[in-house]
Amino acid sequence: MKYIKIFFIIIAILFLNVFLNKTYGADKKEGIESFPDSYKPYLQELQKNHPNWRFVSLYTNLDWNYVIDNENIFGKNLVPKSYSDRWKNTKPGQYNVEVDSGWVDASRRSLEYTMDPRNFLNEIRNFQFEALSYDEKTNNIEGIEKILYGTEFNNRIVDYVTSSGNIITMNSKYSDLILSAGKTSAVSTYHLASRIKQEVGPFLSHSSISGRVQGFEGLYNFYNIGATSSSEPMGAIKNGLKYARDGNGASETTKSKYLIPWNTKERAITGGGKFIGSSYINVGQDTLYLQKFHVSSNTGGELFWHQYMTNVLAPYSESSSIYNGYSKTGILGNSMTFIIPVYNNMPNMWTQNPNILESDYISDNTKVYADVTETLNVRSGPSTSYELLTKIDRNVIMTRIAKGRQSRRTMG
């Protein structure tokens, strides 16, 4: 009887796992037609301006309110204390309590706003959904070289210094090594190229990759992994090169996994790429959004806890930096993939920015037209600081569903 009970317990556990995986397993579908109708107008506008962009719907199979409930836990999502109360948790005992220096708990409404992808399907903020995993359909040498343009890595044959001072010249360019690293690490080559630019700048003479730092000759760290701050002169760089040498005392298994020591530029670029991919990108959290909001995972592990940052607006902020970098290097026309979450039972209308209240507007539903010389900029809020959503040609007839209340000023 004891063995029969154990057998049925095991069967029950297996059934529960299958049920949970079926219920919460994410499902990806490619193409704008795979998205709910409330997503489509914005994606179609992006597609019109960027025909090489690919959009993938990530059906999380999670209920919208269930997701918000699990993220709306004190200390899990923060906003700057300087923000208005509309962004903050105002519950007694939790209001303006600094979870971190200068940071307080976010309100439920700010979570609903930042987690609703429909609020960010525009030219800039869409980059929080950019796929950071390797995609052979979009990642190529040409795109990498465009990112490297303006640096000494651009169209440059690789050479490096060994620990004994010999100079080795390879038959490969930096773009070749980055492409190979992307394939090996399963990380986007554009992400790797951008990270290298961000970490070591435009010059090959940067100490992290020169191979000539005293005591660390012939070692390279292109992503500044392990380069923690130190009061010692060049302390951060030396700490990064210590990691390049032996993984700061890592196990043989870890060193083998990340190709340590990084005593050639190829090992450093590829091994560092594998390090970057292993923690988030390779386990299904392969966008900035998914690294902030753990709503999908390849491992089947518990959701909502493995989150890279607490700033509720981190994906929003970082997407602007990515867009600006891509814009400057002229690769916005390249093929790119965006993975955009969809939840069950989402509200028909997306949550407005917490700075905007329904009481600020009155229903209108009248016909209006764009009374402008050329085009009218339509933004996500009532000022030029808000995101540009689309442009309307002169004299196009529209329906204005609401208009802002204008307060009257009194003299005196």
pLDDT class of 387 with cuts at 50, 70, 90: low
Segment 368-392 mean pLDDT: 70
Tell me: do 168 and 241 sit in the same domain: yes
| Domain limit, last residue, from 260, 283, 306 | 283
The domain containing residue 101 runs over which residues?
25-133+284-344
pLDDT class of 308 with cuts at 50, 70, 90: confident
Q: Is residue 13 part of a domain?
A: no
pLDDT, residue 8, reads: 40
Three-state secondary-structure class, residue 321: helix
pLDDT, residue 6, reads: 42
Among positive and negative, which fits the CA dihedral 106, 112, 113, 118? positive
CA distances from 169 to 159, 166, 208, 268, 282 (A): 4, 10, 19, 16, 32
Is it the case that residue 412 has pLDDT exceeding 60?
A: no
pLDDT, residue 269, reads: 98
Question: Which range, 89-103, 168-182, 318-332, has the best average confidence (pLDDT)?
Answer: 168-182
Segment 282-292 mean pLDDT: 92
Segment 148-166 mean pLDDT: 96
Among positive and negative, which fits the CA dihedral 74, 76, 82, 84? negative
pLDDT class of 389 with cuts at 50, 70, 90: low
Tell me: do 153 and 248 sit in the same domain: yes
Tell me: do 153 and 275 sit in the same domain: yes
Tell me: do 123 and 151 sit in the same domain: no
Helices in 299-401 by DSSP H: which ranges?
314-329
Q: Which long-range contacts (CB under 8 A, 24 or more apart) does 134-139 make?
A: 134/182, 134/183, 134/185, 134/186, 134/187, 134/188, 134/189, 135/188, 135/337, 136/183, 137/54, 137/335, 137/337, 138/54, 138/334, 138/335, 138/336, 138/337, 139/179, 139/182, 139/188, 139/189, 139/190
Question: Which range, 16-25, 82-91, 143-152, has the best average confidence (pLDDT)?
Answer: 82-91
Segment 72-76 mean pLDDT: 95
Residue of 193, 377, 185, 349 lying closest to 267 (CA atoms): 185
CA distance 326 to 123: 12
Segment 3-7 mean pLDDT: 42
| Local structure of residue 372 (DSSP, 8 states) | S
Tell me: do 218 and 254 sit in the same domain: yes
Percentage of the chain modeled with pLDDT above 90 = 63
Tell me: do 152 and 276 sit in the same domain: yes
What's the CA angle centered on 349, arms 296 and 125, to 5 degrees? 55
Tell me: do 329 and 394 sit in the same domain: no
Token output for 65: 């309110």
pLDDT in tens, 167-213: 999 999 999 999 999 999 999 999 999 889 888 999 999 999 999 99
pLDDT, residue 80, reads: 95
Q: Is residue 80 part of a domain?
A: yes
Is it the case that residue 218 has pLDDT exceeding 80?
A: yes
Tell me: do 276 and 145 sit in the same domain: yes
Query: Quick check: 338 and 150 in contact, CB under 8 A?
Result: no
Tell me: do 193 and 112 sit in the same domain: no
Segment 385-407 mean pLDDT: 67
Residue of 14, 13, 11, 47 lying closest to 31 (CA atoms): 47
- Tell me whether residue 34 is exposed, middle or buried, using C-beta atoms within 10 angstroms of its C-beta: 0 to 12, 13 to 18, 19 or more: middle
Q: Is residue 18 part of a domain?
A: no
| Domain limit, last residue, from 318, 344, 370 | 344
Neighbour-count burial for 98-114, b at 16+ CB within 10 Å, e otherwise: ebeeebbbbbbbbbbbb
pTM for the whole structure: 0.73
CA distances from 201 to 8, 205, 223, 226, 411 (A): 60, 10, 11, 17, 55
Tell me: do 48 and 127 sit in the same domain: yes
Segment 340-345 mean pLDDT: 98
pLDDT, residue 411, reads: 33
Q: Is residue 204 part of a domain?
A: yes
Q: Which residue has the higher pLDDT, 176 or 402?
A: 176
State the residue for tokens 């709306």.
Answer: 72
Tell me: do 277 and 311 sit in the same domain: no
Is it the case that residue 373 has pLDDT exceeding 80?
A: no
Is it the case that residue 380 has pLDDT exceeding 70?
A: no
pLDDT class of 11 with cuts at 50, 70, 90: very low
Q: Is residue 82 part of a domain?
A: yes
Q: Which residue has the higher pLDDT, 162 or 26?
A: 162
- Number of structural domains found in the chain: 3
Average pLDDT, rounded, for the chain: 87
pLDDT, residue 408, reads: 43
Three-state secondary-structure class, residue 401: strand
Q: Which residue has the higher pLDDT, 270 or 410?
A: 270
Q: Is residue 181 part of a domain?
A: yes
CA distance 156 to 175: 8
Q: Is residue 391 part of a domain?
A: yes
State the residue for tokens 């060193």.
Answer: 255
CA distances from 213 to 118, 166, 241, 243, 298 (A): 49, 15, 9, 14, 40
Query: Quick check: 72 and 108 in contact, CB under 8 A?
Result: yes
Is it the case that residue 77 has pLDDT exceeding 70?
A: yes
CA distance 145 to 155: 7
pLDDT, residue 302, reads: 84
| Domain limit, last residue, from 242, 261, 283 | 283
pLDDT, residue 338, reads: 96
Q: Is residue 43 part of a domain?
A: yes
Tell me: do 303 and 188 sit in the same domain: no
pLDDT, residue 297, reads: 75
Residue of 57, 72, 135, 144 lying closest to 105 (CA atoms): 72
pLDDT, residue 386, reads: 66
